[in-house]
Amino acid sequence: MRALLCKAWGGPESLAVEDVPSPRPGAGEVVVAVKAAGVNFPDLLMIQGKYQVQPPLPFTPGVEFAGVVTEAGAGVAGVRPGDPVVATVAFGAFAEACVVPAASVLPLPRGVDFAAAAGFTVAYGTAWHALEDRGRLQPGETLLVLGAAGGVGLAAVTLGAALGARVIAAASSDEKLAVCRAHGATDTINYSTQDLRARLKALVGAKGVDLVYDPVGGSLTEPALRSVGWRGRYLVIGFAGGEIPRLPANVTLLKGSSIVGVYWGAWREHEPEASRRAMTALLDRLGDGRLRPYVSARYPLARAAEALVALARRTATGKTVIEPEA
Ligand SMILES: NC(=O)c1ccc[n+]([C@@H]2O[C@H](COP(=O)([O-])OP(=O)(O)OC[C@H]3O[C@@H](n4cnc5c(N)ncnc54)[C@H](OP(=O)(O)O)[C@@H]3O)[C@@H](O)[C@H]2O)c1
């Protein structure tokens, strides 16, 4: 089978598509023919050796996919060849086939296409864990989302609006903000051309925002934290901007506010039952059309590196997927 290979730490330009042996299932595992795999910012970090997970070289990047089970190993019950499924893996999804523990696949909701499901689990799993579980977002509260047109950002815009919040989307271009409005943002801030703190003051006044969702970090974080109101919460999602901010602790004292860490992957390890229940509920909403993920670009496996370049250059919006059979 063909797979994208990372043979040395570096940027997307050093990745190559090569023939590798097809995977066989061990006991308790299934092999899935990958129909579509979601592209995530952590893929970029992983190929550079900058992510929490550092696979031995060479390896195939890609952490989420949707496809069809082709083979089941000994002792597998409840999943059969022919079943359409979605799954998350530590790495290995940018390939024609992927082997996973049968216990970690979930049924693809009926009527949902592979591309929509492939980019769903990480973005919506993270946004749900952040907003519902860590942020305790309440209907009527104000939610500020930074990097709002990106993968985890747009999922937070969509979920925040669905949870009844007033969503303020902040991003680097008017085109990205138009995408956010189409997915439930009622107010927008272009932080390339507008001062974030001044614009937030104009939008929410002295009350401040209740919840901030920050996948970007860097110089945006301190003005956003200072814009939080009494008992507000600040969700640390990631550092796509490349810089981990240092924050003045007195700001939290003055506001009675909290800085809250969010790591979806660790939640799944520490609280597997709760996270699986949440994902099942999210997939139900995907299946009945209440959630409609925005897939803005699809690439064949041969051009998978270009998909990663688009994330690195900030030109991607919503979710980008790789389709190995295209
Ligand atoms: N905590 C968790 O459990 C968890 C789970 C998944 C992902 N993450 C993290 O969340 C962040 C976003 O991931 P994603 O998959 O949503 O990425 P993405 O789709 O590429 O979105 C990232 C957004 O960050 C903004 N950005 C600002 N500076 C950037 C830069 N130098 N390079 C790239 N983007 C930049 C971009 O928006 P603008 O151009 O509008 O600024 C972009 O839309 C990453 O740091 C990732 O590691 C965390």
- Going by alpha carbons, the residue nearest to atom 24 of ligand 1 is 147
Residue 209 sits in a domain whose CATH number is 3.40.50.720
- Going by alpha carbons, the residue nearest to atom 9 of ligand 1 is 238
Question: Is there a single domain that holds both residue 127 and residue 255?
Answer: yes
Tell how far the Cα of 30 is from the centroid of ligand 1, in angstroms. Answer: 31
Tell how far the Cα of 154 is from the centroid of ligand 1, in angstroms. Answer: 10
For 239, the token pair is: 């550092």
Question: Is there a single domain that holds both residue 71 and residue 146?
Answer: no
- Phi then psi for residue 192, to 5 deg, are -85, -30
pLDDT of residue 52: 86
DSSP output for 17-47: EEE-PPP---TTEEEEEEEEEE--HHHHHHH
- Going by alpha carbons, the residue nearest to atom 29 of ligand 1 is 241
CB atoms within 10 A of CB 108: 25
Question: Is there a single domain that holds both residue 193 and residue 239?
Answer: yes
Tell how far the Cα of 27 is from the centroid of ligand 1, in angstroms. Answer: 36
Question: Is there a single domain that holds both residue 91 and residue 147?
Answer: no
Residue 105 sits in a domain whose CATH number is 3.90.180.10
pLDDT of residue 83: 98
pLDDT of residue 326: 85
258, part of any domain: yes
Q: Which atom of ligand 1 is nearest to the CA of 176?
A: 40
Tell how far the Cα of 153 is from the centroid of ligand 1, in angstroms. Answer: 7
The partner residues of 181 in beta bridges, in order of sequence, read: none
Low-confidence residues in the chain, pLDDT < 70:
none
Spatial CA neighbour of 88 closest among 109, 114, 118:
118
Pocket test for ligand 1, best of 40, 52, 152 (most atoms within 8 A of CB): 152
Tell how far the Cα of 324 is from the centroid of ligand 1, in angstroms. Answer: 24
Question: Is there a single domain that holds both residue 175 and residue 309?
Answer: no
Q: Work out whether the CA dihedral 26, 29, 31, 36 comes out positive or negative.
A: negative
Return the exposure string of 216-239: e unless at least 16 CB atoms fall within 10 Å of the residue's CB, then b.
bbeebbbebbbbbbeebbbbbbbb
Q: How far apart are the first and last CA of the chain?
A: 14
Task: Tell me the CA distances in angstroms from 112 to 28, 294, 304, 319, 322, one per residue in order.
Answer: 26, 13, 23, 15, 17
31, part of any domain: yes
Question: Is there a single domain that holds both residue 230 and residue 306?
Answer: no
288, part of any domain: no
Q: Which atom of ligand 1 is nearest to the CA of 264?
A: 3
Count of alpha carbons within 13 angstroms of residue 301, beta-carbon side: 25
Amino acid at 164: G
Question: How many domains does the structure of the chain reveal?
Answer: 2
Residues with CB under 6 A from ligand 1: 40-42, 122, 126, 147, 149-153, 171-172, 176, 215-216, 237-242, 262-265, 311, 314, 316
Tell how far the Cα of 267 is from the centroid of ligand 1, in angstroms. Answer: 19
272, part of any domain: no
Question: Is there a single domain that holds both residue 81 and residue 204?
Answer: no
The residues, ordered by sequence, that sit 6+ positions from 302 with a Cβ below 8 Å of its Cβ are 17
Question: Is there a single domain that holds both residue 303 and residue 259?
Answer: no
- Domain housing 154: 123-265
